[in-house]
Amino acid sequence: MIARRKIKYPVSPPLRQYLYHFDRQREIPQVYSELRRFTGAIPYEDPRGRETLWLTVMYPPDVLTELRAKLIAIYTELKIGRDAAQHEHLLVDRIDFGDFGNSKPFRIRVTNLFNDNSDYFYVKQTDASRIYGLELEHILSPNRINYLISGNTLIEEHIAGVPGDVFLREHLNQPGLNKVRIAKEFTKFTERSFIRLLGDMRSVNYVVDITPDFEEIQYRVRAIDFDQQSYEGNGNIYLAFRFHSNRKITRLAFEVLNRKSIDQYVAEEHAQMARRAKVESSRLRALLGVMRREEIAPREHVITLARELDRMHGTSGFGDCQSMGELTAEHISLMLEI
């Protein structure tokens, strides 16, 4: 459904000022370019021995020593914002490279030497679309997002959960699955993504957070990829149920939910997002104010998406929007009635 690789847009001075004001911009090492200096790579296999899209990369000893110190400093800044000198017990024991997508990320594994507990974070190239996506997720979704930027380096905290494609392949047909609850959560996730115009929610771009409750198991579907925030001109890109990889969960939702239930869950999501928008009204207004003035998509995408949104909503006002930021702001306002 996405025909071409997305254009990467720089972070403008107004956006950097916004990020500085809300404590996203920090004086941390700009390591993305340094991480590209690896000299070898082997395919990374998951714990079950299956190959993934990731490569575990290797560096000369002197380069690795320098990188490890910088990565630990970044990790501690991301987690607690304190001097890394007191965290000698933390070790960067693996660096993986993803030669895919627009961000070409590095995944850093940090292990606590006292108890062998490991955690992850990601190093990516900065891109305005991705940052707008992260901010809108933080403001409008039920999920908090922890990330930092410095220069051309974007640091993202790991979002825990079962990858969507793995969940659909290995969990969807399990006897203990609460089909109604996962269908409800996917319905709300689809609506949430559409309202804020987050595209490309294929099964590899979200995770399912599974939480045992006192009687039943709770599910939450969370986006993990924000590259396609307000970019594509095709309206179907913003509808998660349109993707072939989500066909199983879409079919399940229509099997176990009737129209009144779907309408109820959609209305719930609208109400919850509207409350979050009101609580964070000054932050959302500041973000959309910057976003309105920025070029974050080709002009032809803006024209096409405006036409698509007018068709979807039976309106005629989106054609007056001159940028993707304006389209996003108008769409959120229309959908949430704020």
- Of 96, 122, 157, which residue is a domain's last? 157
Residue 64: inside a domain? yes
Last residue of a domain, one of 157, 174, 192: 157
Which of 68-82, 108-122, 282-296, 321-335 shows the lowest mean pLDDT across its residues?
Answer: 68-82
Do 207 and 286 lie in a common domain? yes
Name the phi and psi angles at 42, rounded to 5: -130, 150
157, 190, 223: which is the final residue of a domain? Answer: 157
Closest CA to 286 of 24, 23, 25, 21: 21
Same domain flag for 104 and 66: yes
**Cβ burial, residue 197 (10 Å; 0-12/13-18/19+):** buried
46/111: higher pLDDT: 111
Q: What is the mean pLDDT of residues 137-158?
A: 96
Q: Is there a single domain that holds both residue 289 and residue 196?
A: yes
120 with 150, same domain: the answer is yes
Question: What residue numbers bound the domain in which 244 lies?
Answer: 162-336
2 in a domain, yes or no? no
Q: Which residue has the higher pLDDT, 2 or 202?
A: 202
Question: How many separate domains does the chain show?
Answer: 2
Q: Across residues 224-239, what is the average pLDDT? A: 96
Asked if the model's pLDDT at residue 86 lies above 70, the reply is no
On whether the pTM is more than 0.75, the answer is yes
Q: What is the mean pLDDT of residues 306-327?
A: 96
Q: What is the pLDDT of residue 88?
A: 80
143 and 167 assigned to the same domain:
no
Burial class (CB in 10 A: 0-12, 13-18, 19+), 274: middle
Residue 4 domain flag: no
pLDDT at position 81 is: 78
Length of the chain in terms of residues written: 338
Same domain, 45 and 182: no
The reply to whether 131 and 195 lie within a common domain is no
Do residues 271 and 296 both lie within one domain? yes
State whether 222 and 253 are in the same domain: yes
Are 317 and 211 in a shared domain? yes
Given a contact cutoff of 8 angstroms between Cβ atoms, the answer to whether 280 and 311 are in contact is: no
Q: Residue 261: which H helix or E strand, with range? A: helix 259-279
Q: Do 104 and 192 fall into the same domain?
A: no
Same domain, residue pair 81 and 220: no
Confidence of residue 84 (pLDDT cuts 50, 70, 90): low
CA dist list (Å): 201 to 1, 189, 207, 295, 312: 11, 10, 10, 22, 19
In a domain, 145, yes or no: yes
Structural domain contains residue 167: yes
Each residue's pLDDT tens digit, 18-57? 999 999 999 999 999 999 999 999 999 888 888 888 999 9
Is 7 inside a domain boundary?
no
Instruction: Tell whether 171 is covered by a domain.
Output: yes
- The CA distance from 219 to 239, in Å, is 20
Q: Is residue 3 part of a domain?
A: no
